[in-house]
Structure 1
Amino acid sequence: MASINTAFKALCLSLLFVTVSSSPDTEPKVFDVQSYGAKGDGTADNANAFTNAWKDACAWKGRSKVYVPKGAFCLGGVTFAGPCNCQTYFVIDGVVLAPTNNDDIKKETWVNFAYINYLTISGSGTIDGQGKESWPLNNCNKNDNCPRLAVSMGFDFVNNSRIEGITSLNSKAGHFNFYFVDNFTIAGVNITAPGDSPNTDGIKVGFSSNINISNTHIGTGDDCIAILSGNTNLFIYNVTCGPGHGISVGSLGKNKVREEC
């Protein structure tokens, strides 16, 4: 009987070894922006390197990760568009810097994600809108020809996704805009700008559903969270606001034909 037990245990161990050794690698394929020529020196524009890394990651037939390592990476206005072939991660451990001159962005949104499913943005890094030089231009209450300042990061038609851990600093206009997204989680994010910075809304949500915002600190010069038209199932919990205007239902009653949340 002892020899049978020993043989059975040996067989089990052999089968376990075969199972483990033959199991597919679950780690995502890494696309480091530095491999595409990005320089974290705080001066070079890395838009081409970032977009090329994204294109390859998005086209990868498996889980993929765009990685921004430690360093200061300047980045002009970019759009990261899908659809992608599989679950995609965008990990920021460095600092991503917007142009100080708003005109150099040439887009309404500095960093935009569009038409993507199963996207995760995470990391210990910061996206810095460098808004200080642009805030004095925000005089739309007096000037009908005031410039339209760029939002730091936008999500359009992005579903089953999440953003966690990163910091958004000193946006020129709003920090995060979400439009036509479904099943999106914002967790553990830090959003900050001075209390006197104009129109630096923390999170703005419109025409979206199943949005969860939690464990997040938002301190800006405008709305902490602005809830616009067409939203359903919006959950907000364990969020601290201040400075700023708190959580608001934007434009409520402004237009009688507008459907409010």
Structure 2
Amino acid sequence: MAAMTRALLLLFALAIRSAGGQQRVHNVFDFHAAGDGKTDDAQAFLGTWQAACSDAGEPVVAVPGGRAFLLSQVSFQGPCKSPITVKLDGNIVAPNHIWTKEAANLLTFLGVDHLTLDGNGGIDGQGAIWWDCYNRKKCHARPILLGFARCNNLTVRRIHLKDSADKHMTLFQCSQVNVDSVSVTAPADSPNTDGITVALSNNTYISNTSIQTGDDCVSVLSYTKNITVTQSRCGPGHGISVGSLGRSETAMVEQITVSNCSFIGTMTGVRIKSWQGGKGYAKGFLFQSLNMTEVQYPIVIDQFYCPQGNCPIKHGGVAISDVRFIDIQGTSSEQEAIRLLCSQSVHCQGIYLSNINLSWVNHTSPANATILNAHGSTGGMVVPRIQFSDFL
């Protein structure tokens, strides 16, 4: 009998602890959000965030589905007392007018560790008015849709990003990041609408994404390490790019993996690009198990990056080394399927290609490759044929 009593008391204590440990839900409607897509809901969202950030019980910020919430330039700041989950099931929309002349983010999470942003909802940047303004050279600064800065142990899952004025998602000075099943859409001709940009960050894993934009699907900038993009679809867009590197900073990039991805109608597939005269290094790349469908230039290393086309010749360059291209199949829309263009003063070293089969779509002539100041080796079948530069 005493043993049974002790067991019942233990179960009762565990039940109390479990009930007390339930996550508290902070709903934006409890803080007077209108959710009509017309009323500015910034104060309601900030009030909800402040309540959740001061909650030590691993709280949830709830943005209910079926409603639209108008926001502009809202910053959610940490540190917070415990991990927070933002459950985004509704849709956040930007104002449909030019609402800032300065560099800005529509939404920013700053210094928030152990954050999860998850849900079936999305963020719409209503970017068309901005793209037109930019193309007419009247908007020099355009807002980024969603920015994370100094957020460690971050998870972003399932949400949909649409029509950003500029880049869609940026990761800046973040560590231990998992981006999974996120989708990004913007027209192919929308300017600079990169999908996900990673800078000054490490240990980032991007998987199961679908990105259709007017610029890079994923761009990896300097001071990054251990970045993986896998099981993802890119196109339209400019491909998955490392760089551009070395224009104003000393480049430091290493351990970048892109695997099991498909590229459809993109400008490039996988690309490393740097400016002439740059400094620093980029090393430790693995591009593996990739499928290219009518990609203009499927494989690119370009140490002469100059989008304006009028850059002066400069000596020096970012040292690019240890780059492996393995199991890459498909078609190019240009005959030049592979471009490895490295500088005379800083050659590319340790380039390896294996099991490459790229054909020039709708042409009987074979695809070809251009190699300049690149040194390496091949294994297995490599089509088009590669002739590496002889060592000086």
Give the TM-score, by structure 2 length.
Answer: 0.61
Aligned-residue Cα RMSD (Å) equals 2.0
CA distance in 1, matches of 2:90, 2:151: 24
SS at match of 1:134: helix
CA distance in 1, matches of 2:186, 2:114: 29
* Within-5 A mapping of 1:111-260: 111-139=107-135, 143=137, 146-255=139-248, 257-260=250-253
Given candidates 68, 76, 80, the residue that maps to 1:72 is 68
Amino acid at match of 2:32: G
Amino acid at match of 1:34: F
Amino acid at match of 1:79: S
Given candidates 71, 80, 83, the residue that maps to 2:79 is 83
CA drift of 1:256 comes to 7.0
CA distance in 2, matches of 1:209, 1:240: 22
SS at match of 1:133: helix
- Indicate the residue corresponding to 1:4 in structure 2: none
Alpha carbons of structure 1 residues 237 and 150: separation in structure 2 relative to 1, 3 Å: same
Contact 2:72 2:95 in 1 (8 A): yes
| Per-residue deviation, residues 179-232 of structure 1 (Å, max 9, x unmatched) | 000001000111111111111100000010100000111111110001000001
CA distance in 2, matches of 1:60, 1:18: 25
Contact 1:159 1:181 in 2 (8 A): yes
Contact 1:168 1:191 in 2 (8 A): yes
Given candidates 13, 20, 24, the residue that maps to 2:18 is 24
Amino acid at match of 2:91: V
Amino acid at match of 1:67: A
Amino acid at match of 1:74: L
**How many residues in Structure 1 have an aligned counterpart in Structure 2?**
252
Considering fraction of residues, name the structure with more helix: 1
- Indicate the residue corresponding to 1:54 in structure 2: 49
Contact 2:101 2:139 in 1 (8 A): no
CA distance in 2, matches of 1:106, 1:48: 21
CA drift of 1:132 comes to 1.2
CA distance in 2, matches of 1:159, 1:178: 10
Higher RCO structure (Cα 8 Å, ≥6 apart): 1
Determine if the alignment matches structure 1 residue 39 to structure 2 residue 7: no
The gaps in structure 1 that reach 5 residues or longer are: 1-6
- Indicate the residue corresponding to 1:14 in structure 2: 8
Considering fraction of residues, name the structure with more strand: 2
CA distance in 1, matches of 2:112, 2:246: 32
The gaps in structure 2 that reach 5 residues or longer are: 255-392
Alpha carbons of structure 1 residues 90 and 256: separation in structure 2 relative to 1, 3 Å: closer
Alpha carbons of structure 1 residues 105 and 176: separation in structure 2 relative to 1, 3 Å: farther
Which range moves more in the overlay, 104-113 or 178-187? 104-113
